[in-house]
Amino acid sequence: MNTIKQHILLLLLSVFYSVLLSAAVSAQPKEQTNKTDTSRGDKMIADYFEQQTIQIEDGYLSEINSPDDWLKQRATYVEQLQEMLGLNPMPEKTPLMPQITGKVEHDEFTVENIHFQSRPGLYVTGNLYVPKQLDEKLPAILYVCGHGAVKENGVSFGNKVHYHHHGSWFARNGYVCLTIDTLQLGEIEGIHHGTYRYGLWWWLNRGYTPAGVEAWNCIRALDYLQSREEVDGERLGVTGRSGGGAYSWWIAALDERIKVAVPVAGITDMRNHVVDGTVEGHCDCMFMVNTYQWDYPMVAALVAPRPLLISNTDNDGIFPLDGVYRTFVKTKQIYDLLGASDQISLHITAGPHKDTQELRVHAFRWFNHYLKGDDALIEKAAHKYFEPSELQVFKDGNPDTERNSVISHSFVKQSDSAEVPSTEDELQEFAAITKDKLIKKSFRAWPANPVDLDLRKVHSAIVEDLEMTAYDYTSQSGIELRLFTLHRKGLEHAKLTMIHAQTESDWNDFLVFYGKSFGKTEVLKEETIASDSIGVIPDFEKFRDAALKDDVVWAYLTPRGVGRTAWNQDSFHQTQIKRRFYLLGQSLEGMQILDVRRGMQGIRTLDVCQNSKIYLSGMHEMAGVVIYAGLFEAPDHIRISQLPEDYDDGPTLLNASRFVSFDEVIAAAGHKSRLALPDFENGKLPFTRAVAKLLKWNANRIYLKP
């Protein structure tokens, strides 16, 4: 069969297959086509997360054996943290444009209601507490707030108001204190809950996390404090609780101007988050995009050897005591290594996740000791003196120039447009560079030394001269998957192998379409649906007649989380599973790409598929997965339906758009594969189109379907 006939056969059979499956599934009651037992998938993914967590735990400080090792590596670690917060390259320090919009007087101190712009249009609202007794330049505290909303009649006064008693105490005890609002709960309300609540998975493609915004606002807040004549810029400390505890970690790790840190209830380790499930109680501001697969004690270690008090309560449901203690022990290893064991301490008091007096007293004493050399008893308690409206910054409404509410679209620099390859050699080089970028920045979690595929036949059956075989394979340690092949009886050497990566809908269609014929055999025994109630499968005979005529193998891949390995389909559970992946430095789709690659590798080893042309296809959410799998596995033909136009629509891959556009990945995938793609209107996929035009690709290289 010549190449043109092969292409025609592919298109006809693919369209025919899609029509048949659509007709079959539309004729069935929904409950009959969704019988997946999720217990297998739930156990598999729970075991996988445990295994991956252990791997990350074992990697902590694996390169560090001496103080010199740490001192040499620390700068690299800081750069990695900057990158994971979207701060590498570090944004330009533009003019702060500070303004004082009002003042409130207390007998012992003054509160200035201020705002500044950490970047143009990114407003930071806050209150600056300044003691009235100013005999010398004073130490200053940056107080970063947790999630304590204060709203009245639809007006947000900012979480700085909820925590204003802390600023008052510091001012009454000889400190300048700047208390700043957070992005989500400030006077200008942004978003912290992008993946948690709103399904904004494209944040991860951009390498964006609101933790980066909070860290940057803290850096600029230190700039502002050092600009004040009342402040001794060499004596700066940071504290805050809950979310503010997390931001205390970011700024203390990134900026050595912080001389003393007291994060309160703001960090625990990977095990608590991923295995024990505390991630489900946290929004995205608590997490970096974990490209380099850190456990959280690594962030804490970057504070060493500066004075650090880790403070928490013993019954905190979202920062459990066991994880906090493990974080302290691991962080202390670096302090011990640097001969600074006396500079770190763990403070645990009784109580739930709550801002208590006991937590505050120890924090105050810690700052007094290290910033003032004062170990006197604390005599003044922290009180709330003001009404929310007194501490409001924008009393006449928020500025029209604010970018807080849309900062996720612009905070992290995205990739520059690549130069369009003009020769096949340049395209090959471009594809190699693209793959290298993705491996380093998006797919670092792919195993460097993959385990044995262990492809093994588990069932086989012949029905009406069609042979279906089920194979199990190991995609990754802990991930056992199944694929199916179908071809005419007695086929020894296929000319075409047509591989389809299945969505959950595809899987249900597969069971309906083949369940009537193969459902009572061993090959589909574990996946059997109620086939007796299915009725007549439309035109199965026509499909069989077509399949018997040609030397074709149909293969069906279901990556993790799909089909027989699907886990709980509850939307909240699905969201939290995906969030666990990204805490581990992965994404679900990124690991599904690995699954498809491994399945393809297994199929290629089958005797019947040896030396056949490989056709890879995918639809809907598998379309992007197939493009990336095709880039790395280079099948002869990649056929896509319902292809997303950009990363905002999927797939979710860490950092992908920071380093290469989706359009460029598609073009790179064409370096060895023929592309059959949707023909988007309005000039979509300009890079791929430009490559096709420069390299004079004809229908044998690219086919844009209307």
pLDDT tens-digit readout, 102-112: 999 999 999 99
pLDDT over 90 for what percent of the chain? 82
Statement: residue 560 has pLDDT above 80:
yes
What span, in angstroms and rounded, lies between the C-alpha atoms of 685 and 706? Answer: 14
In the prediction, which pLDDT does 398 show?
A: 95
* pLDDT confidence bin for 542, thresholds 50/70/90: confident
pLDDT tens-digit readout, 118-169: 999 999 999 999 999 998 999 999 999 999 999 999 999 999 999 999 999 9
Q: Is residue 704 part of a domain?
A: no
- Looking at per-residue pLDDT, the higher value among 18 and 470 belongs to 470
pLDDT over 70 for what percent of the chain? 92
In the prediction, which pLDDT does 460 show?
A: 94
In the prediction, which pLDDT does 10 show?
A: 41
Distances (CA, A) of 519 to 95, 156, 456: 69, 59, 20
Q: Are residues 526 and 458 located together in one domain of the fold? A: yes
Q: Is residue 672 part of a domain?
A: yes
Q: Are residues 511 and 589 located together in one domain of the fold? A: yes
What span, in angstroms and rounded, lies between the C-alpha atoms of 204 and 415? Answer: 14
Q: Are residues 206 and 248 located together in one domain of the fold? A: yes
CB burial readout 149-184, b (16+ within 10 A) else e: ebeeeeebbbbbbbbbbbbbbbbbbbbbbbbbbbbb
pLDDT tens-digit readout, 277-324: 999 999 999 999 999 999 999 999 999 999 999 999 999 999 999 999
In the prediction, which pLDDT does 11 show?
A: 39
Q: Tokens in use for 321?
A: 């005591």
What span, in angstroms and rounded, lies between the C-alpha atoms of 634 and 560? Answer: 22
Q: Are residues 465 and 606 located together in one domain of the fold? A: yes
pLDDT tens-digit readout, 195-234: 999 999 999 999 999 999 999 999 999 999 999 999 999 9
Q: Is residue 478 part of a domain?
A: yes
* pLDDT confidence bin for 701, thresholds 50/70/90: very high
* pLDDT confidence bin for 13, thresholds 50/70/90: very low
- Looking at per-residue pLDDT, the higher value among 567 and 679 belongs to 567
Contact in structure between 619 and 642 (CB atoms under 8 Å): yes
Q: Is residue 426 part of a domain?
A: no
Contact in structure between 27 and 535 (CB atoms under 8 Å): yes
What span, in angstroms and rounded, lies between the C-alpha atoms of 371 and 261? Answer: 11
In the prediction, which pLDDT does 464 show?
A: 86
pLDDT tens-digit readout, 53-106: 999 999 999 999 999 999 999 999 999 999 999 999 999 999 999 999 999 999
H/E run at residue 128: strand 122-131
Q: How far is CA 235 from the centre of its chain?
A: 36
What span, in angstroms and rounded, lies between the C-alpha atoms of 86 and 436? Answer: 20
What span, in angstroms and rounded, lies between the C-alpha atoms of 491 and 552? Answer: 8
pLDDT tens-digit readout, 579-593: 999 999 999 999 999
Three-state DSSP state, 650? coil
Q: Is residue 42 part of a domain?
A: yes
Q: What share of the chain is helix, strand, coil (3-state, %, to 5)?
A: 45, 20, 40
What span, in angstroms and rounded, lies between the C-alpha atoms of 501 and 415? Answer: 29
Least-confidence region, from 71-80, 82-91, 172-181, 683-692:
683-692
Statement: residue 370 has pLDDT above 70:
yes
Statement: residue 513 has pLDDT above 90:
no
Q: Which residues contact 165 (CB under 8 A, 6 or more apart)?
A: 382, 383, 384, 385
What is the extent of the structural domain holding 379?
80-402
In the prediction, which pLDDT does 541 show?
A: 77
Q: Which residues contact 549 (CB under 8 A, 6 or more apart)?
A: none
pLDDT tens-digit readout, 432-484: 999 999 999 999 999 999 999 999 999 999 988 999 999 999 999 999 999 99
Q: What total of structural domains would you count in the chain?
A: 2
Contact in structure between 661 and 704 (CB atoms under 8 Å): no
Q: Are residues 389 and 533 located together in one domain of the fold? A: no
H/E run at residue 164: helix 164-172
CATH number at residue 197: 3.40.50.1820
Statement: residue 545 has pLDDT above 90:
no
Q: Are residues 286 and 199 located together in one domain of the fold? A: yes
Least-confidence region, from 380-389, 477-486, 608-617, 661-670:
380-389
CB atoms within 10 A of CB 536: 9
What span, in angstroms and rounded, lies between the C-alpha atoms of 416 and 607? Answer: 45
Q: Tokens in use for 638?
A: 């990649």
Three-state DSSP state, 344? strand
| Number of helices and strands in the chain (H, E) | 21, 20
Longest dimension (CA), the chain: 96
Tell me the DSSP string of 514-552.
HHHHHTTSGGGGGG---GGGT-PPTTHHHHHHHHHHS-E
Burial (0-12, 13-18, 19+ Cβ within 10 Å), 340? middle
Q: Is residue 440 part of a domain?
A: no
Q: Are residues 384 and 325 located together in one domain of the fold? A: yes
What span, in angstroms and rounded, lies between the C-alpha atoms of 230 and 689? Answer: 60
In the prediction, which pLDDT does 2 show?
A: 47
The edge-to-edge listing of strands for the beta sheet with 456-463 is 456-463, 466-476, 479-488, 552-557, 496-501, 613-619, 637-641, 674-678, 702-705
pLDDT tens-digit readout, 327-351: 999 999 999 999 999 999 999 999 9
What span, in angstroms and rounded, lies between the C-alpha atoms of 441 and 88? Answer: 13
Q: Is residue 422 part of a domain?
A: no
Q: Are residues 250 and 148 located together in one domain of the fold? A: yes
Statement: residue 23 has pLDDT above 50:
no
Statement: residue 24 has pLDDT above 80:
no
Query: 434: number of CA atoms within 13 Å, CB side?
Result: 29
Three-state DSSP state, 501? strand
Give CA torsion, residues 339, 342, 343, 349, to 10 deg. Answer: 140
Q: Are residues 374 and 504 located together in one domain of the fold? A: no
In the prediction, which pLDDT does 441 show?
A: 97
Statement: residue 5 has pLDDT above 50:
no
Q: Which residues contact 585 (CB under 8 A, 6 or more apart)?
A: 56, 290, 291, 292, 293, 294, 444, 445, 654
In the prediction, which pLDDT does 645 show?
A: 67
CA angle (637 as vertex; 635, 638 as ends), nearest 5: 95
Q: Are residues 348 and 483 located together in one domain of the fold? A: no
Query: 110: number of CA atoms within 13 Å, CB side?
Result: 11
CATH number at residue 609: 3.40.50
Residue 664: name the closest of 646, 640, 682 by CA.
646
- Looking at per-residue pLDDT, the higher value among 620 and 5 belongs to 620
Query: Across the strands, what pairs with 675?
Result: 638, 702
Q: Tokens in use for 311?
A: 């403070």
Q: Is residue 444 part of a domain?
A: no
pLDDT tens-digit readout, 251-268: 999 999 999 999 999 999
Name the average pLDDT for the chain.
91
In the prediction, which pLDDT does 687 show?
A: 94
Contact in structure between 327 and 319 (CB atoms under 8 Å): no
Q: Are residues 637 and 557 located together in one domain of the fold? A: yes
In the prediction, which pLDDT does 528 show?
A: 54
Q: Are residues 47 and 91 located together in one domain of the fold? A: no
